[in-house]
């Protein structure tokens, strides 16, 4: 059991109704499993409205701030003053009761992929617990911690932010032994004065480090001096093209990447099942974390060879298409100038007719129009055949592109869904990249469904 009623009551100071035990924690009745504790968070909807449904679907209990309508008087509940605070208390208690070695990962780009790499590397060396998807915010971090089994050997916690002051409280909940900053880039500029401010916020991940903890930092970013100053009290371990832990070379192969790196003075050959030099750099940083945790780096390198990116984060799909293969690079989960540039570089190196469908990049602040238009000047654009644009911000890129590269300019993904599939041919390679709210993941899903229908 993950939590007994007595343990949960002691952790939160709440009031228990019924005698129960739960084997998991859920915030969504659509994916809840039998035996889960349903947490009635308030977001777009009030989770209390779904407690009765959660219990009918097999929830072992519910964490609530009041007895919801439609719930029986003897229902298994943990009643607290505030559900968010109660979830955080569960997370702190779960962290306190485990002897796991914990690594926290933040950064402007690459957090989720690096977290997934680390989980893949460590799971072959001990029981490993990691954040699901991109659960990295004020409820995602405590939820990840509260779900952590007490016999965990390694835990990987992803920490994100949109505004100043968000990272430190989450890092202090996680209490990592190792804290990593993947990179610093012009993301969320509408909430920060400049990129240096973003670097200071990212460096706050080290505020939660346990005594003797290690900061793993990217030496190649322009704000490396800011990171160095902000983490001056830590054991700093740097990675990059010119750093103590070094990326020596990267080359593309038919299956992905081959790279040579040095970690703690020893050289390793990496095989990664994805294109894009940024994956090699993130892998290097992850290996430095593995070393800092005291795990086996050589074994982690072997485990990394079996890892591949997850949906929306650079996953490569080969779809049956008109008697041939349509290749889709699904990078539809998020977008900013740095990550779009990296994705376009991957597309530029691919074989076949190169097509990009790019959606608006959100939260870039007052220079957002210029940042979208500036993508037209990237070196990778020279090798790309057609660029389709989705959204009012990407219209500025469309206008800046050479006429021969301009594809369609759609206001929404729904418009793209109606037009794009009929324009794709076997042998094409398509990059889908945009902020999550643009919904390009739906386009990828439709193409996959069309491929499945043809195959069947």
Specify whether the CB–CB gap between 22 and 33 falls below 8 A.
no
Alpha-carbon gap, residue 15 to 33, rounded angstroms: 24
Alpha-carbon gap, residue 225 to 216, rounded angstroms: 14
Specify whether the CB–CB gap between 377 and 452 falls below 8 A.
no
Tokens of 87: 């979830």
- Sequence-distant (6+) residues with CB within 8 A of 57 are 29, 32, 34
**Residue 111 in marked binding region:** yes
**Residue 208 in marked binding region:** no
**Residue 42 in marked binding region:** no
Alpha-carbon gap, residue 226 to 203, rounded angstroms: 8
Q: Would you say the C-alpha torsion 299, 208, 185, 337 has a positive or negative sign?
A: positive
Alpha-carbon gap, residue 387 to 432, rounded angstroms: 10
H or E segment and range at residue 325: strand 324-331
**Strand, helix or coil at 6?**
helix
H or E segment and range at residue 287: helix 277-292
Alpha-carbon gap, residue 398 to 407, rounded angstroms: 8
**Residue 276 in marked binding region:** no
**Residue 109 in marked binding region:** yes
Tokens of 341: 């540039």
**Residue 113 in marked binding region:** yes
CA-to-CA separations, 341 to 331, 358, 413, 431, in angstroms, rounded: 12, 11, 21, 12
* Cβ burial, residue 141 (10 Å; 0-12/13-18/19+): buried
Specify whether the CB–CB gap between 361 and 340 falls below 8 A.
yes
**Residue 107 in marked binding region:** yes
End-to-end CA distance of the chain: 42
Alpha-carbon gap, residue 329 to 260, rounded angstroms: 24
Binding-site entries: 107-113
Binding-site entries for ATP: 107-113
């Amino acid at each position: 059991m993950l939590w007994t009623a007595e343990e949960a009551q002691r952790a939160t100071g709440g009031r228990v109704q019924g005698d129960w035990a739960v084997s998991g924690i859920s915030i969504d009745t659509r994916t809840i499993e039998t035996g889960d504790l349903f947490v009635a968070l308030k977001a777009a909807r009030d989770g209390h409205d779904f407690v009765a449904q959660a219990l009918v679907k097999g929830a072992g209990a519910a964490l609530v701030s009041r007895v919801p309508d439609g719930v029986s008087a003897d229902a298994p509940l943990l009643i607290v003053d505030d559900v968010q605070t109660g979830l955080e208390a569960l997370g702190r208690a779960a962290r306190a009761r485990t002897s796991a070695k914990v690594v926290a990962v933040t950064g402007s780009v690459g957090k989720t992929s690096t977290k997934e790499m680390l989980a893949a590397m460590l799971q072959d060396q001990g029981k490993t617990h990691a954040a699901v998807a991109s659960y990295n915010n004020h409820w995602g971090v405590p939820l990840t911690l509260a779900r952590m089994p007490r016999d965990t050997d390694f835990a990987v916690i992803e920490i994100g932010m949109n505004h100043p002051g968000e990272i430190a409280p989450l890092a202090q909940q996680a209490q990592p032994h190792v804290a990593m900053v993947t990179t610093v880039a012009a993301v969320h500029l509408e909430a920060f004065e400049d990129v240096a401010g973003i670097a200071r916020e990212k460096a706050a991940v080290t505020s939660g480090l346990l005594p003797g903890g290690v900061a793993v930092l990217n030496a190649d970013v322009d704000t490396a001096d800011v990171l160095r100053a902000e983490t001056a009290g830590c054991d700093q371990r740097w990675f990059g093209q010119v750093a103590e832990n070094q990326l020596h070379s990267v080359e593309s192969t038919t299956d992905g990447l081959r790279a040579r790196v040095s970690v703690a003075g020893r050289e390793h050959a990496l095989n990664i099942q994805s294109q894009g030099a940024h994956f090699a750099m993130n892998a290097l940083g992850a290996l430095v974390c593995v070393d800092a945790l005291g795990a086996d780096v050589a074994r982690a390198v072997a485990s990394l060879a079996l890892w591949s990116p997850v949906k929306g984060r650079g996953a490569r799909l080969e779809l049956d298409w008109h008697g041939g293969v349509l290749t889709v690079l699904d990078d539809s989960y998020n977008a900013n100038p740095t990550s779009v540039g990296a994705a376009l570089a991957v597309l530029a190196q691919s074989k076949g007719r190169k097509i990009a469908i790019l959606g608006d990049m959100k939260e870039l602040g007052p220079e957002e129009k210029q940042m979208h238009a500036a993508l037209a000047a990237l070196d990778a654009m020279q090798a790309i055949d057609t660029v389709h644009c989705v959204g009012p911000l990407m219209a500025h890129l469309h206008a800046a592109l050479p006429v021969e590269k301009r594809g369609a300019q759609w206001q929404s993904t729904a418009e793209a869904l109606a037009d794009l599939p009929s324009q794709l041919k076997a042998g094409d390679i398509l990059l889908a990249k945009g902020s999550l709210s643009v919904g390009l993941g739906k386009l990828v899903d439709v193409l996959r469904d069309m491929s499945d229908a043809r195959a069947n």
